[in-house]
Amino acid sequence: MINIGIVGSGFIVPIFIEAVKNVGGYHIRGIMARRENVLSELKEKYSIDYYTLDYKEMFNDPQIDAIYLGVPNSDHYFYAKEALLAGKHVIVEKPFCHKYKFAKEIVQLAKEKNLIVYEAITNQSLPNYQKIKELLPDIGDIKLLDLNFSQYSSRYDKFKSGITLPAFDYKKAGGSLMDLGVYNIHFVVGLFGKPDKVHYFANIEKGVDTSGVLIMSYPTFEAVCISAKDCKAPLHVLIQGDKAYIQSTESSSQLNTVIYKPNKEEGVEYRLNTEDGYFYEFDEFKRLFKNKDLKTAQKLNEHTLIVNEILEKALATAGIVFED
C-alpha cells in the first residue's frame, strides 16, 4: 500500500483520487491546502484520514510514503523540494517545474536522496502510445507531424471578464503551452527525442499565451504542435511517413483510438487503452515504488528535463519568461 499525502484542492485532485482508487494499492493518508472548507469536504467525500493547513505537518508524517502535488505550476518546485528533503517520494502534476533550472535541481536532489520524483503525464504510459512506438519504423521516413490540442476553457470567459485563475495567470506560470501544449511536447519527445530547435508563435493576452503554434525542428522534418485554450478545433495527432501514416482523432493526452494506414494497404485501428488515461500513469508510479525502480524513474526524469527545457526555450521565443 502506498500512503499518499496530497498538496492542493483544485479540480485535478478529485481526478487523482479517483484514478488511484481505480488502480488500487493506494491510500490517501492526508491532504493539505489553504481552503479549510474545501479540505473538510474532500476529507469526508474520499475518507481521507486527516487534513491540515500546514504542509510540514503532513511532510513529517512517518506514515506517508509519497506526496502528490496538484497545485499551480509556480508552486511545484517549492513543494517538491520540501517533500524530498523530508524523505518523501514525489508525484508532480505536469508540467514538472516552471523553470528548467528548478527541474534540474529537483531531479538531482531526488537522485541524491535515492527517492522517486515522477511527472504525472498521461500519454507516456498509454498502451496505444506504446503501439505507436512499435509502429513507427513501419511508416518509413518521417515527413511531417501535426498535433492539435485545442480546448476552449470555461476559465477563458472569466479571464476575459477580469477574473484570472491559475491556468491563465502569468504569476502562476499558466498558459496554453504549459497546460495543453506540454502533452504535445511529451508525445513528440517520447518518440523522437530532443529537437534541434524550437519556436513558439503565441497569441498573448495579459502576459500569458492563450493559444499558439509550436514548431519543433528535427534534422529531416518539422513537428507542428498547436495548443489552445481560447478556441476550439477537432483534436488530432498525425505522423506522416513516406510509407504510411499514424493518426488519432483525439488529443495527445488520451489516444484512445490509433489508426495505422499504409499507402497501399487497408488501415488498422487500435484501441488498446482499456482504462481511463489517468489510470496508466499512476499504475506506472505504483510499479516504480513497489520495485524500488530508481533506474527507470531516473530515465523518465531525463525525458522530463528535455520537455522542461523545451517549454522554457519555446516560451522565451514568444517573449514569455516566468519569474523565479
pLDDT in tens, 233-270: 999 999 999 999 999 999 999 999 999 999 999 999 99
Q: What is the pLDDT of residue 173?
A: 98
Question: Nearest CA to 142 among 7, 243, 40?
Answer: 243
Q: What is the pLDDT of residue 287?
A: 98
- The mean pLDDT of 75-99, rounded to a whole number, is 98
Q: How many CA atoms lie within 13 A of 42 on its CB side?
A: 29
Q: What is the pLDDT of residue 240?
A: 98
Q: What is the pLDDT of residue 63?
A: 98
CB atoms within 10 A of CB 236: 17
How far is 227 from 211, CA to CA, in rounded Å?
A: 6
Q: What is the pLDDT of residue 10?
A: 93
User: What single letter denotes the amino acid at residue 300?
Assistant: L
Q: Which CATH superfamily is domain 2-123 in?
A: NAD(P)-binding Rossmann-like Domain (3.40.50.720)
How far is 207 from 170, CA to CA, in rounded Å?
A: 6
Q: What is the pLDDT of residue 292?
A: 97
- What pLDDT, in 10s, does the model give residues 61-85? 999 999 999 999 999 999 999 999 9
Q: What is the pLDDT of residue 107?
A: 98
Global model pTM greater than 0.95? yes
CATH of 125-279+308-317, picked from 3.40.50.300, 3.40.50.2300, 3.50.50.60, 3.30.360.10, is: 3.30.360.10
Q: What is the pLDDT of residue 118?
A: 98
Quick one: CA torsion of 190, 193, 199, 204, rounded to 10 degrees? 20
CATH 3.30.360.10 domain span(s) along the chain:
125-279+308-317
Q: What is the pLDDT of residue 113?
A: 98
Which helix (H) or strand (E) covers residue 286, if one does? helix 277-291
- The mean pLDDT of 20-48, rounded to a whole number, is 97
CATH 3.40.50.720 domain span(s) along the chain:
2-123
Q: What is the pLDDT of residue 282?
A: 98
